[in-house]
């Protein structure tokens, strides 16, 4: 009968959904509420929350600032290097953040460019600034993807009409394409921000895992797991789960 | 006057190849052609969205080939309206004026333009809440408010339902009369031509094939392509002689124009009289044949007659019933020599 | 002039592309080739390569096996929990793998289900099996997304026609929808595999970082960075970059 | 015989509400309606893709309401062909036979069906390499090879160009004659009706509005909607009296059917004769008026005449030129009482 197939596929779907929910709920319900709240209010977790929010907001703003012009160029213009650029945007789907972190570490720690930046006061290695750079580097391609497809979704004829009505390219973008793209940009920013909050591998390499210095929520989770302070780790994990769920 | 002088432009699958046209001041000019003929690219090149690969564009004597779109004073209206969805109708219409003048002036101009299009009551609405016809009116108002020297319409009626299309067609004629703006209107729909166009150009595959008044194009196509496009169903191959007649099989047809040698003859199916009784000649071509088939089709009846070659005759039902003809009957066909148009055979002959 | 805007956006795009390329090239060119090759051939890196390939291939196969029926159910049927299911598929865009790893650690290490599985010989905690589970859990939602959109791209009317020609639901799927989806499934599998190879956070938590036991390439990179064996870390990173680039 | 008995089905924006139809054995039945009328949903419900929310479907006496699609012996052909792109034409046509019989039998049936559709030479090709017309032939062959008790065609000609459409229309008529299969064909194009349909149903918004022969629907619409859909341009409100006449303004029109009280009168624009000289009455309705406007439109001319109410008359060019009429002229109009059809006023009256 035709419905057996349907029942079988739906059953697998429900089973998998149950497994995912159980894993997540297992984390959130592991500690008794009182312990959880105590951990939330501890100086360390409070520091991690603050640092995570500050770094992720700044890196998201940087992503937006860079992604908007780059995505527009990719969506509307042809230029040498465009193909490479589009490929680079696909790499992070496959490039581990850990490797990106090592790359950034070498770039800012060893290369002449990085050394002169550090000499000028812009030190990224083992500093909170490094966390921002790590988040920016790892998340930029995602933001670029979302922004590019948002711009591609706006028919260029809107801009053509704007130009026949007296707009320069920049005015047409500013008065027409950008306002028509708000929803896409907003959605992209929220994802970027929430990915930034959860960024671990690249930050670990570039900014290191120094308690109360570069300790964002994921690094706090890692440090506390390593040192066996399970309840603090759970607290950090719980906050990260809540952020993921809320940002959907 | 808008002059397109030997313009070529290639954009991947669509292209223009050496297109020349000139549109008179205040003329309503329609460019007709099937999908993919390069009609939209032509408009967008005129508007300044694309720079031609070769050739020049002149508007009222000024060479605007390298003038950016925003300084051309050419308005553009697309099939899908392209109203800015985040702005009210008022802000859409006033969009192009925004940088120019004081709010009261803009307000006045916008209202004037909206009134011309009968959408004064919709100014505070957003485009998403309007019907297709209302959106197209707003798009036209937005272009007209700039007082363009030429207005380009890209299939302005194609996205509308039949009723709205008829209303807006009448509206376009009225607006053209009221403003006197030069209009270039592209379409694939022949119906729009008769109601609106002063002149028509037929395009195909990036080329202009024929230019003329609607009557000329309709009755005197210059190629099989145009003949097929305007619905000439009787197309015969023949041989022209010097005396103005064409031999088609055993028939000798007197045509309005004479070309010696191999020719095509085009006769519209509505221009042929059909009768069971002999028809007075009066200088007409008269042919005798036998009715093959009778196909009622809506309000019309299509009759196929074998007279050595196959003639197709279109009558109204009323007209058909009066003839009393049935399949198998011997019938007389008559058509004026002016109904038989001769052109050189083969595809894509230039005018 | 209109081209200023164009030039500006393209310039930003090229700058960013150059930055990304420099960071990646910096890693690959850091060690002299001779050192790099020596590291490639070392027992440790060879072990990591083997373990990475084995675990990622198995986890990818598991993902395909589960994703195909679930994605089909999501693409074609309505059932209770479908909305939740679709939301769960969006979570990993935001949920850090580290948190997923903690969740899996708790589920398999502490929960009754996990304990009875371990008693039955299926031990996931601190074992290579855990690496497979971590990769499966983190990558499944990506595979699901790709597979779902592939199935959604096949007009259901192909199946309708197949049914009027005598097929059951399962036959219509097997004879029509699946063959029409090969390209999408293949692309999704390659991405899943290459993400599996690079998976770090979840594996770190569930399988731990034990040299020569659960040492995949990313864990090797991490372990060797921690212990200062930079040339080994670079070797692992170079292999990971090559895999990312090749799998595009 | 295929009987759809009070079937309702709701699927979001499309729905069927209490649809009843019966299609005779071997009949070519066309369902006509605008986009969104629920035509495709009707076919898919007949095919067994959807189960009706209410009502029954009977095929040759068998209640198939709950029979799965694969056991219904009903073939389905979609507008977009839905040929399986990963299979050759041969494998597509043989798809439904695969589980049934030995390869030689399948091969024979496939070739027979392919020959019927004139695509025998395309069997080894893949669908992506075929033209639209060839793909549609393959899709029809794939359905016919199963020897279905009914064949459902979902706008089978809509995706094709004009020429291919005409060829395939003739082909459909031929296949229907050759196989005798009961066919239900849905379309929004009135042209297909005259060449193919034994009977027609008009649908709108999930309802069947009128069922009849093409002639009946075309000349005797039962509502404003059908009248508008089949192109009756003269629709007047009037008052019927007992003696078979209708008062429309100052005019008294003799109609073919008589309904007392408020009525609508429909007269096709092609069924009206127009002349400068008085016309013989012969039992016809005769009306005197003045020509408002003359609009040439392709091969036809549309004349608008003010006779108290506005009459629209359609003539061929040839016919129009013979009348010698120009705008402003006084003219005589004549139409048979059988050309004036009366139905109750208001939208959506059931037959």
Contacts of D143 in chain C (CB under 8 A): 164-165
Render C46-103 in DSSP notation, one character per residue.
HHHHHHHHHHHHHHHHHHHHHHHHHHHHHHH---TTHHHHHHHHHGGGTS-HHHHHHH
Q: Note whether residue D349 is domain-resident.
A: no
Digit-coded pLDDT (tens) for A16-51: 988 988 999 999 999 999 999 999 999 999 999 999
The average pLDDT across A228-244 equals 92
The average pLDDT across D216-223 equals 88
Same domain, D207 and D239: no
CB-based contact, C109 to chain A, within 8 Å: no
Instruction: Determine the pLDDT at residue D346.
Output: 67
Q: What span, in angstroms and rounded, lies between the C-alpha atoms of D213 and D200?
A: 6
The average pLDDT across D92-115 equals 90
User: Residue C12 above 80 pLDDT?
Assistant: yes
HEC string of A42-95?
Answer: CHHHHHHHHHHHHHHHHHHHHHHHHHHHHHHHHHHCCCCCHHHHHHHHHHHHCC
Residue from C76, C165, C176, C182 whose CB has the most chain D CBs within 10 Å, to mutate: C165
CB-based contact, A2 to chain D, within 8 Å: yes
Nearest 5°: phi and psi at C211? -55, 135
Instruction: Determine the pLDDT at residue A85.
Output: 83
Q: Note whether residue B232 is domain-resident.
A: yes
Q: Note whether residue B145 is domain-resident.
A: yes
Looking at every residue in chain D, the average pLDDT score rounds to 90
Q: How far is A8 from chain D (nearest CA, A)?
A: 19
Q: Note whether residue B348 is domain-resident.
A: no
Q: Per the CB < 8 Å rule, is A244 touching C199?
A: no
Looking at D192, D219, D246, the residue that finishes a domain is D219
Please, are residues B300 and B262 in contact by the beta-carbon 8 Å criterion? Answer: no
Same domain, D193 and D250: no
Determine the longest span between alpha carbons in chain D, in angstroms.
77
Number of domains in chain B: 2
Residues 167-206 of chain A with CB under 8 A from chain C are: 168-170, 173, 191, 194-195, 197-201, 204-205
Task: Print pLDDT tens along chain B (351 aa).
Answer: 999 999 999 988 788 999 999 999 999 999 998 888 889 999 999 999 999 999 999 999 999 999 999 999 999 999 999 999 999 999 999 999 987 668 889 999 999 999 999 999 999 999 999 999 999 999 999 999 999 999 999 999 988 877 788 889 999 999 999 999 999 999 988 878 888 999 999 999 899 999 999 989 988 899 888 888 888 889 898 998 877 789 998 899 998 887 888 999 999 898 898 999 888 877 789 999 999 988 887 778 889 999 989 999 998 887 888 888 999 999 999 998 888 999 988 654 433
Model confidence band, residue A1 (pLDDT cutoffs 50, 70, 90): very low
The average pLDDT across C88-107 equals 87
CB-based contact, A178 to chain B, within 8 Å: no
Same domain, D107 and D83: yes
Same domain, B111 and B156: yes
User: Residue D1 above 70 pLDDT?
Assistant: yes
Same domain, B198 and B228: no
Across the A:D interface, residue pairs with CB atoms under 8 Å apart total: 3
- Tokens of residue D274, six digits: 């127009």
Instruction: Determine the pLDDT at residue D37.
Output: 86
Instruction: Determine the pLDDT at residue D100.
Output: 67
ipTM for the complex shown? 0.84
Digit-coded pLDDT (tens) for C111-145: 998 899 999 989 999 999 999 999 999 999 999 99
Looking at B169, B199, B219, the residue that finishes a domain is B219
Same domain, B172 and B266: no
Q: What span, in angstroms and rounded, lies between the C-alpha atoms of A151 and D341?
A: 56
The average pLDDT across D159-186 equals 90
Same domain, B198 and B295: no
Element at A247 (helix H, strand E): none
CB-based contact, D190 to chain B, within 8 Å: yes
First to last CA, chain B: 22
Q: Per the CB < 8 Å rule, is C165 touching D48?
A: no
Looking at B192, B219, B246, the residue that finishes a domain is B219
Model confidence band, residue D349 (pLDDT cutoffs 50, 70, 90): very low
- What is the distance of C-alpha D113 from the center of its chain? 27
- Tokens of residue C90, six digits: 């969006």
Q: What span, in angstroms and rounded, lies between the C-alpha atoms of D312 and A6?
A: 58
Q: What span, in angstroms and rounded, lies between the C-alpha atoms of D141 and A74?
A: 46
**Interface residues on D facing C, Cβ-Cβ cutoff 8 A:** 44, 47-49, 68-72, 74-76, 78, 80, 82, 84-86, 95-96, 99-100, 142-143, 146
Q: Per the CB < 8 Å rule, is C137 touching A72?
A: no
Contacts of C72 in chain A (CB under 8 A): 9
Residues 126-165 of chain A with CB under 8 A from chain C are: 137, 140, 163
Instruction: Determine the pLDDT at residue B346.
Output: 67
Instruction: Determine the pLDDT at residue C92.
Output: 66
Q: Note whether residue D104 is domain-resident.
A: yes
Q: Decide: helix, strand or coil at residue B53.
A: coil
The average pLDDT across C164-188 equals 94
First to last CA, chain C: 38
Q: Note whether residue D183 is domain-resident.
A: yes
Instruction: Determine the pLDDT at residue D348.
Output: 44
User: Residue A107 above 70 pLDDT?
Assistant: yes
Nearest 5°: phi and psi at B295? -120, 105
Candidate from A17, A66, A218 with C-beta closest to C88: A17
Q: How far is B265 from chain D (nearest CA, A)?
A: 17
Q: State the sign of the Cα–Cα–Cα–Cα dihedral D229, D235, D239, D243.
A: negative
Same domain, B40 and B174: yes
Digit-coded pLDDT (tens) for D190-200: 878 888 999 99
Instruction: Determine the pLDDT at residue B13.
Output: 79
Instruction: Determine the pLDDT at residue B18.
Output: 92
The average pLDDT across D103-119 equals 93
Instruction: Determine the pLDDT at residue D114.
Output: 95
User: Residue D60 above 70 pLDDT?
Assistant: yes
Same domain, B232 and B195: no
**Residue B202: burial class (beta carbons within 10 Å; 0-12, 13-18, 19+):** buried
Q: How far is C158 from chain D (nearest CA, A)?
A: 6
Same domain, B53 and B179: yes
Instruction: Determine the pLDDT at residue D345.
Output: 80
Q: Note whether residue B77 is domain-resident.
A: yes
- Tokens of residue D290, six digits: 């003045």
Q: How many CB atoms lie within 10 A of CB B239?
A: 13
Candidate from A87, A95, A169 with C-beta closest to C5: A169
CB-based contact, D176 to chain B, within 8 Å: no
Model confidence band, residue D159 (pLDDT cutoffs 50, 70, 90): confident
Q: Note whether residue D89 is domain-resident.
A: yes
With CA atoms as reference, the chain B residue closest to A179 would be: B86
User: Half-sphere exposure of residue D67, counting CA atoms within 13 Å on the CB side?
Assistant: 17
State which residues form the domain around D160: 2-219
Digit-coded pLDDT (tens) for B11-48: 887 889 999 999 999 999 999 988 888 899 999 999 99
Q: Decide: helix, strand or coil at residue C167.
A: coil
Q: Per the CB < 8 Å rule, is A21 touching C88?
A: yes
Q: What span, in angstroms and rounded, lies between the C-alpha atoms of B174 and A66?
A: 50
Q: What span, in angstroms and rounded, lies between the C-alpha atoms of D182 and A169?
A: 60
Chains that touch D (3 or more CB pairs under 8 A): A, B, C
Please, are residues A69 and C8 in contact by the beta-carbon 8 Å criterion? Answer: yes
Q: How far is D149 from chain C (nearest CA, A)?
A: 12
Q: Decide: helix, strand or coil at residue C158.
A: helix
Candidate from C95, C194, C233 with C-beta closest to A244: C95
Residue from D78, D84, D152 whose CB has the most chain C CBs within 10 Å, to mutate: D84
Same domain, D211 and D246: no
What is the model's pTM? Answer: 0.86
Q: Per the CB < 8 Å rule, is B299 touching D314?
A: yes
Candidate from D74, D80, D85 with C-beta closest to C164: D74
Ordered alpha helix ranges (H), D48-98: 89-94
Candidate from D69, D85, D143 with C-beta closest to C163: D69
Spatial CB neighbours of B158, under 8 Å, sequence gap ≥ 6: B79, B187, B188, B189
Q: Per the CB < 8 Å rule, is D80 touching C160?
A: no
Q: State the sign of the Cα–Cα–Cα–Cα dihedral D323, D326, D330, D331.
A: positive
Same domain, B89 and B72: yes
Spatial CB neighbours of D114, under 8 Å, sequence gap ≥ 6: D89, D90, D93, D120, D122, D123, D138, D141
Residue from C78, C163, C164 whose CB has the most chain D CBs within 10 Å, to mutate: C164
- Percentage of chain D with pLDDT > 70? 98
- Tokens of residue D162, six digits: 């004009």
């Amino acid at each position: 009968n035709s419905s057996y197939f349907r029942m079988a596929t739906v059953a697998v779907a429900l089973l998998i959904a149950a497994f995912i929910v159980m894993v997540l709920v297992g984390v959130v319900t592991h500690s008794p509420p009182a312990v959880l709240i105590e951990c939330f209010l501890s100086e360390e977790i409070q520091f991690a929350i603050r640092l995570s929010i500050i770094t992720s907001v700044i890196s998201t703003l940087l992503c937006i600032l860079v992604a908007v012009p780059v995505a527009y160029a990719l969506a509307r213009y042809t230029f040498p290097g465009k193909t490479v650029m589009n490929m680079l945007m696909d790499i992070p789907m496959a490039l581990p953040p850990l490797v990106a972190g090592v790359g950034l570490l070498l770039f800012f720690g060893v290369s002449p460019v990085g050394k002169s930046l550090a000499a000028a006061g812009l030190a990224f290695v083992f500093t909170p600034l490094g966390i921002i750079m790590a988040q920016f580097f790892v998340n930029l391609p995602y933001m670029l993807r979302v922004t590019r497809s948002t711009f591609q979704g706006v028919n260029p004829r809107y801009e053509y009409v704007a130009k026949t009505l007296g707009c320069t390219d920049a005015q047409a973008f500013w008065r027409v394409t950008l306002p028509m793209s708000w929803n896409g940009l907003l959605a992209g920013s929220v994802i970027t921000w929430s990915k930034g909050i959860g960024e671990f591998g690249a930050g670990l390499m570039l900014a290191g895992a120094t308690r109360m210095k570069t300790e964002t929520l994921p690094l706090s989770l890692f440090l506390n797991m390593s040192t066996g302070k399970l309840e603090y780790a759970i607290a950090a994990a719980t906050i990260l789960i809540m952020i993921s769920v809320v940002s959907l | 006057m808008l002059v397109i002088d030997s313009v070529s432009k290639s954009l991947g699958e669509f292209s223009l190849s050496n297109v020349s046209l000139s549109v008179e001041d205040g003329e309503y000019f329609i460019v007709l052609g099937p999908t993919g003929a390069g009609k939209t690219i032509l408009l967008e090149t005129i508007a300044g969205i694309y720079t031609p690969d070769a050739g020049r564009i002149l508007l009222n004597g000024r060479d605007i080939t390298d003038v950016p779109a925003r300084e051309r004073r050419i308005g553009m209206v697309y099939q899908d309206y392209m109203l800015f969805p985040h702005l009210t109708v008022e802000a859409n219409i006033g969009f192009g004026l925004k940088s120019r003048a004081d709010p009261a002036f803009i307000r006045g101009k916008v209202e004037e333009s909206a009134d011309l299009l009968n959408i004064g009551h919709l100014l505070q609405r957003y485009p998403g809440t309007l019907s297709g016809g209302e959106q197209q009116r707003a798009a036209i108002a937005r272009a007209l408010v700039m007082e363009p020297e030429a207005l380009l319409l890209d299939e302005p009626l194609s996205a509308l339902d039949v009723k709205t299309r008829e209303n807006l067609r009448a509206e376009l004629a009225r607006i053209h009369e009221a403003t006197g703006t030069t209009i270039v209107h592209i379409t694939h729909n022949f119906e729009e031509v008769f109601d609106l166009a002063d002149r028509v150009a037929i395009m195909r595959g990036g080329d202009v094939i024929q230019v003329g008044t609607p009557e000329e194009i309709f009755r005197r196509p210059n190629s099989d392509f145009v003949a097929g496009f305007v619905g000439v169903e009787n197309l015969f191959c023949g041989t022209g002689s010097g005396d103005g007649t064409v031999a088609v099989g055993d028939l000798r047809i007197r045509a309005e124009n004479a070309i010696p040698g191999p020719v095509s003859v085009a006769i519209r199916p509505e221009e042929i009289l059909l009768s069971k009784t002999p028809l007075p000649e009066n200088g007409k071509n008269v042919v005798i044949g036998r009715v093959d088939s009778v196909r009622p089709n809506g309000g019309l009846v299509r009759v196929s007659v074998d007279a050595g070659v196959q003639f197709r005759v279109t009558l109204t039902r009323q007209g058909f019933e009066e003839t009393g003809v049935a399949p198998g009957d011997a019938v007389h066909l008559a058509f004026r020599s002016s109904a038989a148009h001769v052109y050189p055979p083969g595809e894509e002959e230039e005018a």
